[in-house]
Amino acid sequence: MEVGSQLSVVRSTNVVLDSGICPADIIIKGDKIVGIHTELTTAPQLCNQQMLDVGDLMVMPGVVDSHVHVNEPGRTDWEGYWTATRAAAAGGITTLIDMPLNSNPPTTTLENFHTKLNAARDKCFVDTGFWGGVIPGNQSALRPMIEAGVPGFKCFLIHSGVDEFPHVTEADLRMSLAELHGTDRVLLFHAERELTHVNPPLNNPCAYATFLATRPDEMEVEAIRLVIKLCLQYRVRCHIVHLSTAEALPLIDEARKAGALLTVETTPHYLSLAAEDIPNGATQYKCCPPIRTKSNQEKLWSALKAGKIDMVVSDHSPCTAELKLLKSGNFLMAWGGISSLQFGLPLFWTSARQRGFTVLDIVNLMCRNTARLCGMENRKGSLVVGKDADIVIWDPDREFEVTETLIHHKNKMTPYLGRKLHGDVFATIVRGKIVYMQGKFPSKAFGEFILNNTTQ
C-alpha cells in the first residue's frame, strides 16, 4: 500500500469506537465511513477493495488540533502550510485550525481571510480550518467572516507579540460580543492582563525564574475573571486558550455552574515541562503564558482527569532560531512560542499513560472535544458512519526519540529534542486517503478547507 492510496477498508484488532476498543473493519467509500463491522468475518468483500490490515496497531479518530500558528502568508521563514501540515500528518493530526496570527496580514477582515485562503490553497496535507481575529475596531468585519466560514475568533487581552494584531480592551470586547451574540460562534481568549503592581526585579535575564516572575499566575486569573463576567452577560460561547495556571480552575468551575458557556484547553508543554527543570539560557522553553511549577502541573493533570479542562492542543508557535536568541539566552527578549505540532499525541500519551488515562481519554481530549469547539463534530472527531474517514494508526507502546531528522516543521528547534516518547504514528488517513505512512508523504497535498461545515 502506497501513500496517496484511496482506501476502502481499514482493519485492526484495536479500533477505538464510541463504545470502546474492539476488533473492527472500517468501511470507506470516497471521503466517508460507510460501515463499521466489529465481526471481522462479516465484512463484505468489495470489488477491487483497497484494504489496509494493520494487525494490532491502534486505529483511532484523527487528531483535531484547534490551536496552530502556521504563519503564512507573511512569515513563511517561521513556518508555512506545506511544512506545518506535513508535520501534522506525521503526528496523526487529520484536521488543524490555523490561528489568525502570526500571519501577515492577520485574519481580521474578509479581504485578509481570502488572502490567507489563497496562500494555503493546494499546500495542505491535512484538512484545514481558519480562526478569525478580533482586534480594536474590526467589529463590522466579524459577520462577513462568519458568512465566509470561520468557526470563531481569537483575541488577546495583552500584547500579542506582533503589532499588526493589537490586544483588545473591555470596551472592544463588549462591541465584539454584541456582534457574536446569536451566531453560535465562539470567541477564543489569550487570557493574560497587564497588572500595574507586577514589576519584578530583572537581575538575570538568562534565568528562567526571572522571566517567570514577569508573568505571574495572577495575570491569567484576572484576565479569566473578565472573560467570565462578559461570558455570563452576553451569553456567547467563550474559550480560554492555553491555560497554564491551576489557580484559575476554581473560577472556571464556578462560572460553569452559574451557566457560563465556557470551555478551556491546555497544552502538552504545560503538562510535560516544568519551570524547575528549565536550564539558564534555554529560550526554546519560552512561551506565554509561561511553563509553571511541577506542583501547578499536577493540578492541571487532576483537572483533566476530573473533566474540568476540556481539551489538549499543541499551540504550535514556531519562529526562526535567530528570534529565540539562543546565543545570548535572554528570556526577556526572545520570542515566546513552542514548536510541537508533530508530537502532540505522543507527548500527551507519554505522561497521561503514567496517570491512569486511556486511549479513550485521548479521543475525548484531542479529537471529539476539539472538533466540537470548531463546529466540526458532524464530520470530525470520532469513527462513526457518515463522518469523514479521518484515521490515525499508531503504536501506543512503541518508544522513539525526538531527533532533528524526524521533525517536519520548518524550524527544528523545540524543547523536546532528545526526549524519548511513547506512541509512534504508523499512518494517517484523511478522508480515506493515506497522507502519511512510515515517514513518507504523497507528492500532492490532498487536504481541503473546512469552512462553516462546507468544503472548499
Place of cell 489538549: 312
Rounded to an integer, the average pLDDT of 385-396 is 98
| The pLDDT of residue 455 | 44
- Of the candidates 178, 173, 162, 185, the residue with the CA atom closest to the CA atom of residue 69: 162
Dist CA 436 CA 272 (whole Å): 26
| The pLDDT of residue 197 | 87
Dist CA 189 CA 193 (whole Å): 11
Strands (E), 77-173: 93-98, 127-130, 132-133, 152-156
Dist CA 38 CA 18 (whole Å): 12
| The pLDDT of residue 456 | 44
| The pLDDT of residue 201 | 84
Give Rg (Cα) of the chain.
Answer: 21
Contact in structure between 325 and 337 (CB atoms under 8 Å): no
Q: To 10 degrees, the CA torsion angle through 174, 176, 181, 182?
A: 170
- Of the candidates 208, 192, 188, the residue with the CA atom closest to the CA atom of residue 200: 208
β-strands 152-156, 433-437 pairing: unpaired
453 pLDDT exceeds 70? Answer: no
156-202 tens-digit pLDDT: 999 999 999 999 999 999 999 999 999 999 999 999 999 998 888 88
Dist CA 417 CA 31 (whole Å): 36
> Range with the lowest mean pLDDT among 38-52, 74-88, 257-271?
38-52
Average pLDDT of the chain, as a whole number: 96
206-259 tens-digit pLDDT: 999 999 999 999 999 999 999 999 999 999 999 999 999 999 999 999 999 999
86-129 tens-digit pLDDT: 999 999 999 999 999 999 999 999 999 999 999 999 999 999 99
The pTM for the full model equals: 0.97
- Of the candidates 12, 62, 132, the residue with the CA atom closest to the CA atom of residue 379: 62
3-state secondary structure of 424: strand
Return the C-alpha cell found at 57: 496497531
| The pLDDT of residue 48 | 61
> What whole-number percentage of the chain has pLDDT above 90?
95
46 pLDDT exceeds 70? Answer: no
**Helix, strand, coil in percent for the chain, rounding step 5:** 30, 25, 45
| The pLDDT of residue 199 | 86
| The pLDDT of residue 1 | 86
CB-CB neighbours of 36 under 10 Å = 17
276-326 tens-digit pLDDT: 999 999 999 999 999 999 999 999 999 999 999 999 999 999 999 999 999
Return the C-alpha cell found at 249: 480552575
129-159 tens-digit pLDDT: 999 999 999 999 999 999 999 999 999 999 9
3-state secondary structure of 279: coil
44 pLDDT exceeds 80? Answer: no
DSSP letters, 340-353, are -GGGHHHHHHHHHG
332-374 tens-digit pLDDT: 999 999 999 999 999 999 999 999 999 999 999 999 999 999 9
| The pLDDT of residue 39 | 77
